[in-house]
Structure 1
Amino acid sequence: MRRKFIRSLSSMACLFCLLSAQARTTHNVSMPVETQKDIINTPHIAWERKGDFTVGKSTFLLNGEPFVIKAAELHYPRIPKPYWDQRIKLCKALGMNTICLYVFWNSHEQRPGEFDFTGQNDLAEFCRLCQQNDMYVILRPGPYVCAEWEMGGLPWWLLKKKDIRLRERDPYFMERVGIFEKAVAGQVANLTIQNGGPIIMVQVENEYGSYGEDKEYVSQVRDMVRANYPGVTLFQCDWASNFTLNGLDDLVWTMNFGTGANVDQQFAKLKELRPDSPLMCSEFWSGWFDKWGANHETRPAADMIQGLDEMLSKNISFSLYMTHGGTNWGHWAGANSPGFAPDVTSYDYDAPISESGQTTPKYWELRKALGKYMNGKKQAKVPALIKPISIPAFQFTEMAPLFENLPAAKKDRNIRTMEEYDQGFGSILYRTTLPEMKSPSLLTVNDAHDYTQVFLDGKYIGKLDRRNGEKQLEFPACRKGAQLDILVEAMGRINFGRAIKDFKGITRNVELTMDVDGRPFTCDLKDWEVYNLEDTYDFYKGMKFRPISSLKDDLGQRIPGCYRATFNVKKPSDTFLNFETWGKGLVYVNGYALGRIWEIGPQQTLYIPGCWLKEGENEVLVFDIVGPREAKSEGLKEPLLDQLLVKKPLIHRNEGEQLDLSGEKEVLSGSFKPGNGWQEVKFDQPVTGRYICFEALSAQDGKNLACIAEMYLLNEDGERLSREPWIVNYADSEDVSHVNCSADKIFDLQESTYWSTTQEAQYPHAIVIDLGGTHTLTGLQYLPRMESEVPGGIKDFKVYVKSQEFKF
């Protein structure tokens, strides 16, 4: 009797928590009444009993019974908190049973020791909402997460210690990891299934094989996680090609791969090493992320469904990355590497649930496919969607010119990075005076991260774009004492590979090379005034605004600064603000950081959740470091995510350019084997050079198409050469019409992306790469596409290596 009474009290307590959570969730929510009713009328799932999730023979076991994980990847900081419940319900209605989520360290600890688990960072509340919707949770607390998020989730302030070794056994790094992991566990360790909560598994680190080989480091992270979540099943994820590098014997091993991949081949090595292990694709990539200056990425729904159908038919668990991508609010979008390829604000990802929570054709096809695997249960009802609104066009009436609103200057003899000035995000202005230069000179900035504009006595001289490797500008003659201004905007820090240690601002020095008595003389500029332009709403709002109409002498010019307007809304709901006529910068609405804009595209609108709008007047601030062509906007019902206005060609071949290999002698001539997986070929003898040409002579299937997913060169020790400085000088054919299959994909550290020629281009096909320096080479590694049919698999090939550039 006493047990029944306690259980009754427990149920009442859970019901009280649910009603309290519903009250918090629905307060001030701007969404259709039907959606709010769905939230309020959700039946309570009584999970007060403790449970267990373990590993059995070839299967996961949930409370002792076989269980296939059907997980939807969602990231709570990328979704407005009032919409969390609706997004979870959309995943549930697909037929999913689990939510998989990353924990972003830098979002929770933006200053050392200052943790934020409130509002949109309320991890525990998100997990409780999952449980209330009868969804389990897979927790991925890093410390590194990638996720196309600023610095892969690591906090920028780690870089204040310039010699820090990230994701290694650096004492300071490991100390901070321990503090963070303990803080996260303080929020959700009581929500594991062993405690009656929804968390069934916790991940240790993330895809470490793509970063390095250090089992001791991974083991130390494992020990932290295990201490924080005693008794919970722990796992690690990696790629089929590298999971053994850091695989720990006492962890579950899972694979990450994308749509179209050969599923059996992806699990072949794991099944060989652990024949009784349950199989799981912990990231099955449903789409891909977008980069500034490249086409919007899409992936066919049929490929996604075919892969999921195959896995479920074989009782293979999965997490669909992403089921709903959401938004990289504010400055949280990261950047890819090698090179520097910053990500756009939208994290739509071509996912089944769109950035704004709309169901797509992919969604309905996926729901139909997953309906076959419900074990006799009925799929949950699809919740009501949020109906978007349009907002009539409006003009911006006020602006605060940047150079009239600089903060107090810091004086410094030498150049320093943003981090050394305790600045994490925004822009930074370096100012100095110049010696007299009677003739033009060459300005070299070593190196500016990320987008730089140069001014002489207030006049714009030119820009340096890190994406394009630009470091130098022709500089005009000037008087003694002329003022040099170098304005550097920091974009997202690199989130993948070794380049995540990504300092912002000017990272070394600034030089002027001039002619002195007929001989070149290089001057290292010193004595700087530095202005830190923090990306915060308070900083922008505190500027001195004046009517745009008062800028009579500057009308028609593009003026950097902060622009302000108001617009009216009768009934708040979601909309997409149009910034097609603007330059480059960041946007705030009612104090909420919406994200970045950049005229080059492909994204031209920013998503505004209706729950962030007010009935009546709303404020919008745009900090534009270039200045708009026209200071106006409007709210659209549909986003503009595929409107590319970049001037730089997307291909690596000038019009009429033709590679000339006549008279060149190959260092290797050979043939690849058919099929999936990495292949390695060795040169007959070591060769030295800076430029390499790979020429594909024929395909395995005899067709025109040539594709390469990844390629490495081996140095004199037989080890992989760093690809950070690689640049594609030439490719005879590249398919960039829909998916970005440009030649640089062969060294983008992503095995699921690939270089592809166009369907009509005929063999032979060639790529020329500048290695960035002279190296001794002993061989080559090649990875074809991941599909079982291996489209574009190369058969016969030749390799050429030279110290001088190839002729065109």
Structure 2
Amino acid sequence: MPTFEIGPEDFLLDGERTQVVSGALHYFRVHPDQWADRIRKARLMGLNTIETYVPWNFHAPEPGVFDLDGRRDLGRFLDLVAAEGLHAIVRPGPYICAEWDGGGLPAWLLADAAVGVRRHEPRFLEAIGKYYASLLPLVAERQVTHGGPVLMVQVENEYGAYGNDPAPERQKYLRALVDLIRGQGIDVPLFTCDQANDEMLARGGLPELHKTATFGSRTAERLEVLRRHQPTGPLMCMEFWNGWFDSWGLEHHLAPAEANAADLDDLLAAGGSVNLYMFHGGTNFGLTSGANDKGIYRPIATSYDYDAPLAEDGTPTAKYYAMRDVIARHLPVASAEELGADAAGASAGAGAPVLDVELTAHVPLADVLPGLLREELRTFPYVPTTDDLELWSGFAVYRTDLRADDAVLSVAEVRDRAVVLVDGEQVGVLDRGSHTFAVALPARAGELTLLVEDQGRVNYGPRIGEPKGIIGPVRTAVRTLDEWQAGALRVEDAPKLLEAALDAAAHAPSGGAAVAGLHRSTFDAVAGADHFLRLDGWTKGLAWINGELLGRYWSLGPTHTLYVPGPLVRATGNELVLLELHGGASRRASFVDGPALGVTEQ
């Protein structure tokens, strides 16, 4: 059987020196029908390996659930990698960061405050053991030592950047993970990765595990740092940052292709191995985006284009060709003839179908909420968190009664945003990102409703695992509000749950403003073609195509389009549904010929 080993200076594949040239491609950010296309384009660029994280919470969204079907079929993804003649690196966490909701850690597990997050704690390790037992057998049977593509498996992720446990406790935790991984039949090399920083590399690994580093520039300097902590064996940059992610309210990040290519050339010329982060970013479909909080909460945008060599819609960019040219100086690459149509160099998304649609069927927001409740509202003698509601992502409703003299609503904190309604009328917004924790109330008695949105659990730093929802106390000008009714919503299923209401809704004429609520239109299109949905004039909400939740839109930007994968689109009878939280200047939505990812920092 084949072998893959860590030699004195190089990776050894069947005893032969091998330079790993890998690219990050997350199966969970790409429609499954497009996996093969993205993998093929990786090979055509010159990559010999595909790397992917595995988000624990994607496969285990609820306690006692583990899903490996459809979008979650990691086995099929790895088989497609093998079919293309490529190898694979698997990084199963338990923590992945990756700008993913909660860094991949299940919120339902961390809702128990006694669980020791990323520590040698029995409940945490027991849960990881069950996770690995559900996941790793499919990886084990696809190891290179079993005739499959998997070369290496990662232990934890950038652990040197997290926590302040003493070194013996940190090493005890990592060794427990090693034992759990090996116990599931993983026999290929294990490794850790940390930023190319002396402190982090010292804290994040084990003497017996191969260390890799993460960086995006100053290659020679960073390799020197890594060599201090990895005296022998191959040098590898496990995340070569060739782009960056976008957060709502900030600019669209770009990294110059020329600088990326020059740094990659330096790395390969030094004999280093590499994993491009990202080769292809993809999309944070649904409600999967994470968030960062370094004093200001910043939720991650729906697009995860990442300014990667392969754009969000799978189109090769200038960076793709620049990096391919660099790789060709060091390793064999596919011929220009095989590159074929992909070598056209067209901009991402050029030529996508263009059309406008009017969303004339409408159900007001106040009428939408009851139909989306997962169960009857529960009564609490305190303000609950959404964790108390066993809601691990999405939206919840909070309700209580107001008096005429309450005057103002004030919360200790909202995680992360709440639309404030009095008798169904919007009167304001509570918002974590802007530290808006108070709203003026009308001078009348009435019913207060808070539509609370979890905009993404923090994926990096000490706030990992924090509860979501309204954080009390909640006060008015004259009293504390202690009596609440609250319940979780099933917003992901909104078009299906409210189909009858939309069918019965009166159809507004074209033109005019759109109010808060659920809106629907049907349209014909080009079957199988990628589309780009643009929602100018709309404010904030969710968008579905044919029942599939594309993700969040927000006029805050930077992103102004949502990517619609071609496999979701049919020739006739397509359905577009928007859950608009505030209102729009018109009822029109547009499909445009390419992405609009926003203003840049350049």
TM-score (norm 2): 0.92
Q: 1:192 aligns with which of 129, 140, 143?
A: 143
Q: Which amino acid aligns with 2:598?
A: D
Q: Which amino acid aligns with 2:316?
A: T
Q: C-alpha distance in 2, partners of 1:319/1:358? A: 20
Aligned to 2:180: 224
The alpha-carbon deviation at position 377 of structure 1 amounts to: 7.6
Q: 2:319 aligns with which of 354, 362, 386?
A: 362
Check whether the contact 1:138–1:199 (CA below 8 A) recurs between aligned residues.
yes
Aligned to 1:484: 448
Q: Which amino acid aligns with 1:120?
A: R
SS of equivalent residue, structure 1 residue 485 = strand
Q: C-alpha distance in 1, partners of 2:242/2:279? A: 7
Residue 210 (structure 1) aligned with residue 168 (structure 2) = no
Aligned to 2:360: 397
Of structures 1 and 2, the one with the larger relative CO (CA 8 A, separation 6+) is 2
The alpha-carbon deviation at position 539 of structure 1 amounts to: 6.5
Aligned to 2:228: 272
Q: 1:118 aligns with which of 59, 69, 76?
A: 69
Aligned to 1:155: 106
- Deviations, residues 175-217 of structure 1 (Å, cap 9, x unaligned): 1111111111122211101101110100000001111242221
Residue 444 (structure 1) aligned with residue 444 (structure 2) = no
SS of equivalent residue, structure 1 residue 106 = helix
- Deviations, residues 711-748 of structure 1 (Å, cap 9, x unaligned): xxxxxxxxxxxxxxxxxxxxxxxxxx615xxxxxxxxx
Q: C-alpha distance in 2, partners of 1:357/1:562? A: 31
SS of equivalent residue, structure 1 residue 524 = coil
Check whether the contact 2:38–2:314 (CA below 8 A) recurs between aligned residues.
yes
SS of equivalent residue, structure 1 residue 432 = strand
- Deviations, residues 292-311 of structure 1 (Å, cap 9, x unaligned): 01111101111111111001
Structure 1 segment 76-475 matched on structure 2, within 5 A: 76-212=27-163, 213=165, 214-241=170-197, 242-258=200-216, 261-338=217-294, 339-375=296-332, 378=335, 381-382=338-339, 384=341, 388-405=351-368, 406=370, 407=373, 408-437=376-405, 441-475=407-441
- Deviations, residues 621-654 of structure 1 (Å, cap 9, x unaligned): 11122222222212112011115xxxxxxxxxxx
The alpha-carbon deviation at position 526 of structure 1 amounts to: 1.9
Q: 2:580 aligns with which of 624, 638, 645?
A: 624
Q: Which amino acid aligns with 1:451?
A: R
SS of equivalent residue, structure 2 residue 17 = strand
- Deviations, residues 585-636 of structure 1 (Å, cap 9, x unaligned): 1111111121110111111111111111112111111112222222221211
Moved over 6 A (4+): none
The alpha-carbon deviation at position 380 of structure 1 amounts to: 8.2
Q: Which amino acid aligns with 2:68?
A: F
SS of equivalent residue, structure 1 residue 559 = strand
Instruction: Decide whether aligned partners of structure 1 residues 551 and 230 sit closer, same or farther in structure 2, where only a CA change above 3 A counts.
Output: closer
Check whether the contact 1:573–1:613 (CA below 8 A) recurs between aligned residues.
yes
Aligned to 1:806: none
Aligned to 1:66: 17
Instruction: Decide whether aligned partners of structure 1 residues 409 and 356 sit closer, same or farther in structure 2, where only a CA change above 3 A counts.
Output: same
- Deviations, residues 97-148 of structure 1 (Å, cap 9, x unaligned): 1001111111111122221111121111111111111100001011110111
Q: 1:504 aligns with which of 460, 468, 492?
A: 468
Check whether the contact 1:104–1:145 (CA below 8 A) recurs between aligned residues.
yes
The alpha-carbon deviation at position 379 of structure 1 amounts to: 7.0
Q: Which amino acid aligns with 1:443?
A: L
Q: C-alpha distance in 1, partners of 2:337/2:87? A: 15
Q: Which amino acid aligns with 1:397?
A: T
SS of equivalent residue, structure 1 residue 373 = coil
Structure 1 segment 671-686 matched on structure 2, within 5 A: none
Instruction: Decide whether aligned partners of structure 1 residues 377 and 475 sit closer, same or farther in structure 2, where only a CA change above 3 A counts.
Output: closer
Q: Which amino acid aligns with 1:613?
A: V
Residue 738 (structure 1) aligned with residue 589 (structure 2) = no
- Deviations, residues 736-765 of structure 1 (Å, cap 9, x unaligned): x615xxxxxxxxxxxxxxxxxxxxxxxxxx
- Deviations, residues 486-527 of structure 1 (Å, cap 9, x unaligned): 22111111111111113221122311134xxxxxxxx21022
Q: Which amino acid aligns with 2:324?
A: R
Q: Which amino acid aligns with 2:594?
A: E
Q: C-alpha distance in 1, partners of 2:409/2:323? A: 55
SS of equivalent residue, structure 1 residue 245 = helix
Instruction: Decide whether aligned partners of structure 1 residues 539 and 160 sit closer, same or farther in structure 2, where only a CA change above 3 A counts.
Output: farther
Q: C-alpha distance in 1, partners of 2:550/2:431? A: 23
Aligned to 2:346: none
Q: C-alpha distance in 1, partners of 2:335/2:208? A: 37
Structure 1 unaligned segments of length 5 or more: list them: 1-49, 515-522, 644-736, 740-808
SS of equivalent residue, structure 1 residue 91 = helix
The alpha-carbon deviation at position 172 of structure 1 amounts to: 1.9
Check whether the contact 1:371–1:379 (CA below 8 A) recurs between aligned residues.
no
Q: C-alpha distance in 2, partners of 1:207/1:53? A: 23
Structure 1 segment 685-704 matched on structure 2, within 5 A: none
SS of equivalent residue, structure 2 residue 339 = coil
- Deviations, residues 317-340 of structure 1 (Å, cap 9, x unaligned): 010000100010000111112131
The alpha-carbon deviation at position 173 of structure 1 amounts to: 1.8
Q: Which amino acid aligns with 2:395?
A: S
Higher alpha-carbon Rg: 1
Q: C-alpha distance in 2, partners of 1:119/1:228? A: 23
Check whether the contact 1:94–1:380 (CA below 8 A) recurs between aligned residues.
no
Q: C-alpha distance in 1, partners of 2:322/2:271? A: 20
Q: C-alpha distance in 1, partners of 2:496/2:517? A: 9
- Deviations, residues 441-485 of structure 1 (Å, cap 9, x unaligned): 442112111112222333322212211122122344334xx2222
Q: C-alpha distance in 2, partners of 1:376/1:464? A: 53
CA RMSD of aligned residues (A): 2.1
Moved more, 168-177 or 543-552: 543-552
The alpha-carbon deviation at position 384 of structure 1 amounts to: 4.5
Q: Which amino acid aligns with 2:436?
A: E
Instruction: Decide whether aligned partners of structure 1 residues 350 and 243 sit closer, same or farther in structure 2, where only a CA change above 3 A counts.
Output: same
Identical positions, percent: 35
The alpha-carbon deviation at position 557 of structure 1 amounts to: 6.2
Instruction: Decide whether aligned partners of structure 1 residues 508 and 101 sit closer, same or farther in structure 2, where only a CA change above 3 A counts.
Output: same
Q: C-alpha distance in 2, partners of 1:129/1:137? A: 10
Q: 2:542 aligns with which of 586, 601, 612?
A: 586
TM-score (norm 1): 0.69
Check whether the contact 1:226–1:232 (CA below 8 A) recurs between aligned residues.
no
Q: Which amino acid aligns with 2:386?
A: M
Check whether the contact 2:495–2:577 (CA below 8 A) recurs between aligned residues.
no
Q: C-alpha distance in 1, partners of 2:354/2:523? A: 8
Q: Which amino acid aligns with 1:471?
A: F
SS of equivalent residue, structure 1 residue 236 = strand
Q: Which amino acid aligns with 1:619?
A: E
Q: C-alpha distance in 2, partners of 1:332/1:376? A: 35
